[in-house]
């Protein structure tokens, strides 16, 4: 920027270039150094700003979008918010089919960006007409002048991270990164970063984080999509009941599974110990680091980068609510309620 008014042309100029932050207390006494790539610094508060902007701008370059075109997507919330934000700024309509697992907060946020939202049952098969994939497909077919983003099967999702997140991590770690730990949903983040990082140094270990109730880990290990692996779980945005083509399983070295309960408590602990108000999957990533550290994955020379996809403000009525945690049965002798109780002055 030169002299005069120092302003960005609009919010979209701020997508990407998120900070890398050293983790301290949460990994005290761990071997190696641990860093968080804090994606909540994107203007839409998650890693999904990158793919929303990239996919829409690629469609613009191909001449596929006109003023008033409807952008349609299935989303656990974050992709929807980013698409709604980018669509609104650029003058497109946005329709989103979301899973009933998405928090009320997330749904209200999508509506605040002007999107039309359809809430679809979470625990039905991907080919069920009520699933959010099928609902989005149907709306796309019925809406003329619309495009379907299809993030799970869109190579541009992975490319967005290959072009931005991966190079940023390489630069920010001065090429010293030894491990990348990233939750895998569509797999775009982990696969795009991994492709770029492995081109720079093939020895970098790429670790995906998966949920119990998701098929990804078993598929990676056996090339078999085992329906027995599929059952309901709580964490939003992590794991899958199908195999996304946006995931490049060849560049991922290992998948680590984490539980809903451990991830929730670890997210709360990260917020409390680092002052970084993290989302649920940030907790999942740190939980995976804890498990892998216990298994001897890291040594004193390890420089581990964990992707922190989104902000804790999206989970206030979930993992940051003692009431919600209690309803899930997440408090027991190992995991207790927050000790800093609220005092009511009457
Ligand atoms: N964390 C959260 C909160 C997400 O919404 C997502 C996206 N589904 C991910 C992690 C995983 O990112 P990706 O889809 O790029 O694998």
pLDDT tens-digit profile of 301-343? 999 999 999 999 989 999 999 999 999 999 987 788 877 888 8
On whether the CB atoms of residues 46 and 282 are closer than 8 A, the answer is no
pLDDT in tens, 64-73: 998 889 999 9
According to DSSP, residue 320 is labeled: T
**pTM reported for the whole predicted model:** 0.94
| Residues above pLDDT 70, as percent of the chain | 99
Protein residues whose CB sits closer than 6 Å to any atom of ligand 1: 76, 78, 183-190, 237-238, 279, 281, 309-310
81: three-class secondary structure by DSSP: helix
On whether the CB atoms of residues 238 and 267 are closer than 8 A, the answer is no
Residue nearest to atom 2 of ligand 1 (CA): 237
CA separation for the pair 103, 316 (Å, rounded): 9
Position 123 scores a pLDDT of 83
Q: Is it the case that residue 106 has pLDDT exceeding 90? A: no
Confidence bin at 273 (pLDDT 50/70/90): very high
Position 77 scores a pLDDT of 81
Confidence bin at 2 (pLDDT 50/70/90): low
CA separation for the pair 313, 61 (Å, rounded): 34
Averaged pLDDT score across all residues of the chain: 95
CA separation for the pair 129, 109 (Å, rounded): 26
Q: From the alpha carbon of 314, which atom of ligand 1 is closest?
A: 3
Range in 117-126, 204-213, 215-224, 282-291 with the lowest mean pLDDT: 117-126
Position 286 scores a pLDDT of 98
Q: How far, in Å, is the centroid of ligand 1 from the Cα of 237?
A: 5
On whether the CB atoms of residues 100 and 42 are closer than 8 A, the answer is no
Q: What is the mean pLDDT of residues 255-265?
A: 98
Q: Is it the case that residue 144 has pLDDT exceeding 80? A: yes
Q: Is it the case that residue 76 has pLDDT exceeding 70? A: no
Q: Is it the case that residue 1 has pLDDT exceeding 60? A: no
Q: How far, in Å, is the centroid of ligand 1 from the Cα of 257?
A: 15
CA separation for the pair 119, 319 (Å, rounded): 21
Position 84 scores a pLDDT of 97
Position 338 scores a pLDDT of 78
On whether the CB atoms of residues 341 and 310 are closer than 8 A, the answer is no
Per the DSSP assignment, residues forming a β-bridge with 38 are: 308
Position 341 scores a pLDDT of 84
């Amino acid at each position: 920027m030169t002299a005069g008014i120092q302003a960005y042309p609009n919010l979209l100029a701020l997508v990407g270039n998120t900070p890398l932050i050293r983790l301290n207390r949460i990994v005290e006494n761990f071997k190696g150094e641990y860093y968080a790539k804090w994606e909540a610094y994107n203007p839409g508060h998650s890693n999904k700003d990158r793919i929303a902007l990239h996919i829409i701008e690629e469609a613009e370059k191909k001449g596929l979008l006109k003023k008033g075109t409807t952008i349609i997507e299935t989303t656990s919330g974050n992709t929807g918010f980013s698409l709604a934000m980018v669509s609104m700024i650029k003058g497109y309509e946005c329709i989103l089919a979301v899973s009933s697992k998405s928090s009320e907060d997330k749904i209200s946020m999508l509506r605040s960006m002007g999107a039309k939202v359809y809430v679809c049952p979470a625990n039905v098969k991907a080919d069920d007409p009520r699933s959010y994939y099928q609902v989005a497909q149907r709306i796309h077919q019925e809406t003329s002048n619309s495009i379907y983003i299809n993030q799970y099967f869109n190579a541009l999702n992975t490319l967005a991270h290959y072009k931005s997140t991966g190079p940023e991590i390489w630069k920010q770690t001065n090429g010293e990164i030894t491990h990348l730990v990233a939750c895998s949903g569509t797999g775009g983040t982990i696969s795009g970063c991994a492709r770029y990082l492995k081109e720079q140094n093939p020895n970098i270990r790429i670790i995906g984080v998966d949920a119990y109730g998701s098929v990804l880990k078993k598929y990676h290990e056996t090339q078999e999509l085992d329906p027995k692996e599929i059952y309901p779980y709580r964490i939003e945005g992590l794991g899958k009941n199908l195999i996304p083509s946006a995931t490049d399983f060849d560049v991922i070295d290992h998948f680590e599974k984490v539980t809903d309960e451990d991830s929730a408590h670890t997210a709360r602990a990260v917020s409390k110990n680092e002052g970084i108000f993290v989302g649920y999957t940030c907790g999942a990533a740190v939980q995976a680091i804890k498990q892998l550290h216990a298994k001897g994955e890291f040594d004193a020379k390890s420089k581990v980068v964990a992707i922190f996809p989104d902000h804790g403000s999206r989970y206030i009525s979930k993992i940051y609510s003692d009431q919600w945690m209690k309803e899930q049965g997440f408090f027991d002798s190992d995991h207790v309620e927050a000790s800093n109780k609220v005092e009511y002055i009457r």
